[in-house]
Amino acid sequence: MRDDIQSFLNYLMVEKGFSENTTEAYENDLRQMMTFADKEAAKSGKIPGWENFTRQTMLAYMLDLKERNYAITTVVRKMAAAKSFFNFMVAEGKLKENPTENISTPKVGKPLPDAISISQVRALLNQPVKSGSSEAKRDKAMLELLYASGMRVTELVNLNVLDVDLKEEFVRCFGKGRKERMIPIYPQAAQSIQEYLTEIRPNLVRAETEKALFLNRRGDRLTRQGLWQILKGYAREAGLDDVVTPHTLRHSFATHMLSGGADLRSVQELLGHANISTTQIYTHLTSEHIKRSYEKAHPRAK
């Protein structure tokens, strides 16, 4: 059974071009499902196997997730992972039918992204300088680059030194499916990166062969988790710990670009969205801002 899951994960990465993070999420969801089914099989004295996965098993699994107070979005995601896996198993000839067929999952509306205001962004970006830490210029460069480019956290930590062109003020980024895109950055972000490369990175790097742009104290490539811890610390100092998530600066970048007059297609390209409908969710935020401004300013709307 574990070999089948591994084959599916390989399929996702090689054939579908899924990222390591997405594939890892699928793996965790499928192993949780398998553990549940194994326990159910043991209760009835059955030997664990895919043949035990029936529609009733999957309904029981979904009910178990709900009873354990998983968020609706999480339940839907886990059931979607199961459905994709069983479709793969049917296609491979290892199962005759998909046990998740005709199982209705709860409908989930798309949540609005967690953007913050321009003044809040400014407060967050100013925190590293205020902290006075030895890595302050590294952290300043990272936060400026996140907001300048709208990159995903994973994309940022995967950057190499050669991916940054400070003279032309461009960054080469590899997104989902290793799709390359070139993103312009504003001068202040370029200056912050230059200061980091000149003053801080030489003190962090341990091996001349290290290609990573952003390094931790051990001289290794900074991880997503490491960046999130850094971001959380500065958010707390700025009084924003309740509203900042790893993708807050990405969401704020998109919202502020659209509010400033950028066209939807350009923002789609900058964010690396395959489908423009993914980008369109940010227009709801700008529409809400316009509506609030209208209600505040129009004499008949008060």
Q: In terms of C-beta density within 10 A (0-12 exposed, 13-18 middle, 19 or more buried), how is residue 137 classed?
A: buried
CB of 189 within 8 A of CB of 144? yes
Rounded Cα distance between 277 and 268, Å, is: 9
Q: Is 247 a catalytic residue?
A: yes
Q: What are 172's strand-pairing partners? A: 182
Rounded Cα distance between 269 and 286, Å, is: 19
- Active-site choice (172, 176, 181, 221): 176
Among 252, 282, 248, smallest CA distance to 265 is for 282
Among 100, 98, 91, smallest CA distance to 7 is for 91
Rounded Cα distance between 285 and 51, Å, is: 47
Q: Is 256 a catalytic residue?
A: no
Q: Is 250 a catalytic residue?
A: yes
- Active-site choice (78, 138, 140, 152): 152
28: Cβ contacts below 8 Å, ≥ 6 apart: none
Q: Is 172 a catalytic residue?
A: no
- Active-site choice (140, 201, 250, 251): 250
Q: How far does Cα 67 stand from its chain's mean position?
A: 27
The residues carrying an active-site annotation are: 152, 176, 247, 250, 273, 282
